[in-house]
């Protein structure tokens, strides 16, 4: 991989890691449902020129938009609104990787061997260990919402396979177009005060929303898809593994989240599992016979 492309991956790691700050500040000021609605409004405004009808794929587009857009982002925003220890959410969110593997085994009958089976067990065991930490136990509702968001993300990954070959900006345009009315309607019911004060939001909140929409969603996800078109998955995917570790450091520095010994141990275990799954799955995708 060339130095400019390595620099791009490092930039994406930092963008995604710092996005926890953007999301937390945005949901605390605007409200979780309002914040994620506005985030997708920004995405839609940027991606609208790329919106195209996709013959034969519109059913997949609509279902993917609901699951990978509105549901995933809505659950994630709610979890951030309820949590004070954001570090726990950054680690728990990595369960999307083992969830994706489990779904691939169930739906696509993908064959996995002992290393990845062990890695799945480690991933869930580590989050369970972390959950008994008194500093995190009081965040249980937020953690469970993050688990649900991670599962939605994994289902969304499965659905994205039906959209293979669709340009990144077109995909995001449809995700936003499907998500905005659903999220806005939900916010009108459960968070009407948030929508009512959109015009009074602080300039900094709009900045955080723009950060999440443009940098995290479009530059981050779009950049990784662009790189995966040019390099084997086994080369690019492992380079995103530092993201949750950087997120934990950022959460500790910005929000003063405590980092206890139990949290460190409980965090290392699932991240080790995620690393094993990521590396071996990437090798399986890049090998002609499909074996890691």
Q: pTM value?
A: 0.85
154-181 average pLDDT score: 90
For 26-30, the CB contacts below 8 A with 24+ separation are: 26/205, 26/208, 26/209, 26/212, 27/77, 27/80, 27/81, 28/81, 29/201, 29/202, 29/204, 29/205, 30/194, 30/198, 30/201, 30/205, 30/209
User: Helices 96-108 and 140-160, interaxial angle, to 10°?
Assistant: 40
Rg of the chain over all Cα atoms, to the nearest angstrom: 19
Most confident of 165-174, 218-227, 281-290: 165-174
pLDDT tens, position by position, 103-140:
888 887 878 788 888 888 888 888 777 766 776 777 88
Q: How far is residue 15's CA from residue 124's CA, in Å, rounded to a whole number? A: 26
Number of C-alpha atoms within 13 angstroms, CB side, residue 116? 22
> Contact at 8 Å (CB) between 41 and 180?
yes
- DSSP letter for 51, please: -
Among the residue ranges 35-44, 135-144, 230-239, 243-252, the one predicted with the least confidence is 230-239
Could you tell me which residue, 103 or 240, shows the higher pLDDT?
A: 103
DSSP state of 256: -
């Amino acid at each position: 991989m060339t130095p400019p492309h390595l620099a791009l991956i490092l930039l994406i790691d930092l963008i995604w890691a710092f996005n926890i700050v953007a999301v937390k500040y945005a949901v605390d000021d605007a409200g979780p449902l309002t914040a994620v609605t506005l985030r997708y409004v920004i995405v839609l405004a940027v991606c609208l020129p790329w919106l195209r009808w996709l013959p034969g794929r519109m059913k997949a587009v609509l279902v993917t938009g609901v699951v990978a857009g509105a549901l995933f982002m809505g659950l994630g925003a709610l979890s951030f609104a309820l949590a004070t220890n954001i570090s726990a959410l950054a680690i728990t969110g990595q369960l999307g990787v083992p969830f994706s593997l489990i779904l691939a085994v169930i739906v696509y009958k993908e064959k996995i061997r002992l290393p990845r089976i062990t890695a799945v067990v480690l991933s869930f065991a580590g989050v369970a260990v972390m959950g008994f930490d008194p500093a995190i136990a009081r965040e249980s509702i937020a953690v469970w919402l993050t688990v649900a968001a991670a599962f939605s993300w994994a289902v969304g990954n499965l659905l994205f396979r039906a959209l293979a070959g669709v340009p990144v900006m077109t995909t995001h345009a449809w995700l936003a177009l499907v998500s905005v009315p659903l999220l806005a309607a939900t916010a009108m019911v459960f968070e009407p005060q948030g929508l009512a004060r959109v015009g009074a939001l602080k300039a900094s909140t709009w900045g955080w929303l723009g950060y999440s929409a443009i940098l995290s969603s479009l530059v981050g996800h779009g950049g990784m898809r662009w790189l995966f078109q040019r390099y084997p998955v086994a080369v690019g995917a492992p380079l995103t593994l530092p993201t949750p570790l950087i997120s934990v450091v950022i959460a500790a520095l910005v929000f003063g989240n405590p980092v206890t010994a139990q949290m460190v141990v409980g965090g290392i275990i699932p991240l080790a599992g995620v690393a094993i799954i990521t590396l071996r799955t990437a090798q399986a995708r890049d090998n002609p016979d499909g074996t890691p």
